[in-house]
Structure 1
Amino acid sequence: MKKKVVMVCMLMTSICSLYAQNVTLAPEMGISAVQRYGWGQEWRPSAKIGVSVDFNLTNHFGIESGLFYTFRGYSISNGGTYSNGKFTWTENVSQTRHFLQIPVLAQFRWTLNKNTKMFFGVGPYVAFCLKNRFDSNPYYMNGAYPGKYEQYYDGFMYGEDAMGNSNLFLYEEARNFDWGVSSNIGIETNHWYAKLQYDLSLGKEGKNDVIGANYHTLTLSVGYKFGL
């Protein structure tokens, strides 16, 4: 799946660069709200900066791509009560992941007046993790504070809850590749534009994850277009 998504994105970008009537570059920056489905308890703030590239095939249709930096993650407070037979604790964890993201969106445009256009885009994206930060802050409810010879996993204590569910999944090494779908809607006037974008992460974050809705990201951004 990883190779197929990357190849499709590269192929679409290559074809559009050959047939584009004109190409525009646009430095872009925005603020985001991110939620990790199933794990995160609430929306978290984020940011998104980069350069957007539009391959304009006609006056009303083109392909939007570019390169963007963004970060996302989740936090879990009281995310389960675990025990290893000697100690019982409540798990509190937080993870933040930093990505380079490349979208390939079909973009549709409508002229509102001489200087103003409305646009809508939809398509896939691929992303590559640059850095991953994970923090654990367990709250011990009984038993002495664990010594250096107690049972650990990658530097963190682990155990099972009353139902036999392990907390090991919290400490699995996250995958560096992500993919998903994006859509946006916005307005452009005198080369300036503002848009609202939604990204849905579908890639597996951990080795035991399944392909499905993982992260939901809403971004409000602004940019300025330069013709090439």
Structure 2
Amino acid sequence: MAIGISVASMAQVRVGVKGGWNIANVTTSNSGGLDDSRALNSFHIGAVADVPLSPVLSLQPGVFYTGKGSKLERGEPGDAAYFKTTTNPQYIEIPVNFVGKIPVGQDTRVFLGVGPYAAFGVAGKNKYDANLAGVHTSGESNIKWDDDTPFNDGDPNQGYDKYKRFDYGGNFLAGVEFGNFLVSAQYGLGMGKIFSGTDNSSNDKSKNRVWSFSVGYLFGGSK
């Protein structure tokens, strides 16, 4: 009986693809506030599974390649005095969301979800572009990652010119399923500071915040 129930449950699991647009930012104040002008456009793409736990609740784990970061800009392009820097760290992110679904029509469901995520930094660039007294300069460099992981106590490679490789936080999402298609919006609330050497827990500066707008497709029979 247990094997039969397990097989029946697994037969309803759907696996699919999901991707879209990120609006990323990094907190700038002790209270966790943001400067909206520093938001940076990026993207995410990956795979997601939908595991039914009940007729109205699913577990949705996934794995994504996602870009985060922020920008700082002063002046306008072409001005005699203009400066812009962007930082765009990119992560492999694993969310595990619990999603409640409300039927609103034939094969259509509105859903709300919440869950944690863990992320591992793998790439990214810092870029700058500036005009000063008629002289234009620009350049880029690869982001440097420290050896920070959840499994070590010390980090001999930390430094203020490096990013912490491990990030974690929570997700809040909402959207609509149309059969096997889905459209969703998600807010990622980072809880770990992104810069190496900044472990002071008395403020919320330098933590990732990301709005993600996604479209996806789940293969298999609709639920």
TM over 0.5: yes
- Alignment CA distance shift 1:209-1:138 (3 Å): farther
1:74 equivalent among 57, 61, 70: 70
1:76-97 per-position Cα deviation (integer Å, ceiling 9, x unaligned): 346xxxxxxxxxxx98643210
Does residue 1:117 correspond to 2:113, yes or no? no
Kindly provide the amino acid, as one letter, of the partner of residue 68 in structure 1.
F
1:84-138 per-position Cα deviation (integer Å, ceiling 9, x unaligned): xxxxxx9864321011110011111111122111111101100011113234568
- Alignment CA distance shift 1:19-1:208 (3 Å): farther
Instruction: Measure, in 1, the Cα distance between the counterparts of 2:105 and 2:93.
Output: 33
1:82 aligned partner: none
Tell me the secondary structure at the aligned position of residue 225 of structure 1. strand
Q: 1 or 2, which has the higher strand percentage?
A: 2
Does residue 1:24 correspond to 2:20, yes or no? no
Kindly provide the amino acid, as one letter, of the partner of residue 27 in structure 1.
V
Q: Is the 2:193–2:208 contact (alpha carbons within 8 Å) kept by the matching residues of 1?
A: no
| 1:182-197 paired onto structure 2 within 5 Å | 182-197=171-186
1:102 aligned partner: 94
- By how many angstroms is 1:188 displaced? 0.6
Instruction: Measure, in 1, the Cα distance between the counterparts of 2:7 and 2:23.
Output: 36
- By how many angstroms is 1:217 displaced? 1.1
Q: Is the 1:48–1:68 contact (alpha carbons within 8 Å) kept by the matching residues of 2?
A: yes
Instruction: Give the TM-score taking structure 2 as reference length.
Output: 0.68
1:215 aligned partner: 208
Q: Is the 1:97–1:129 contact (alpha carbons within 8 Å) kept by the matching residues of 2?
A: yes
**Greater alpha carbon shift after TM alignment, 129-138 vs 95-104:** 129-138
- By how many angstroms is 1:58 displaced? 0.9
- Alignment CA distance shift 1:74-1:25 (3 Å): same
Instruction: Measure, in 2, the Cα distance between the counterparts of 1:136 and 1:44.
Output: 14
Identity of aligned residues (%): 25
Instruction: Give the TM-score taking structure 1 as reference length.
Output: 0.66
| 1:6-85 paired onto structure 2 within 5 Å | 22-38=12-28, 41-77=37-73
- By how many angstroms is 1:67 displaced? 0.5
Residue correspondences, number: 174
Q: Is the 1:92–1:139 contact (alpha carbons within 8 Å) kept by the matching residues of 2?
A: no
Runs of 4+ in 1 over 3 A off after TM superposition: 17-21, 90-93, 135-141, 209-213
2:219 aligned partner: 226
The answer for unaligned runs of 5 or more in structure 1 is: 1-16, 79-89, 142-169
- Alignment CA distance shift 1:137-1:224 (3 Å): closer
Alpha-carbon RMSD: 3.1
Q: Is the 2:164–2:194 contact (alpha carbons within 8 Å) kept by the matching residues of 1?
A: yes
Q: Is the 1:19–1:57 contact (alpha carbons within 8 Å) kept by the matching residues of 2?
A: no
- Alignment CA distance shift 1:75-1:115 (3 Å): same
- Alignment CA distance shift 1:138-1:220 (3 Å): closer
Kindly provide the amino acid, as one letter, of the partner of residue 95 in structure 1.
T
1:174 aligned partner: 163
Instruction: Measure, in 2, the Cα distance between the counterparts of 1:210 and 1:120.
Output: 33
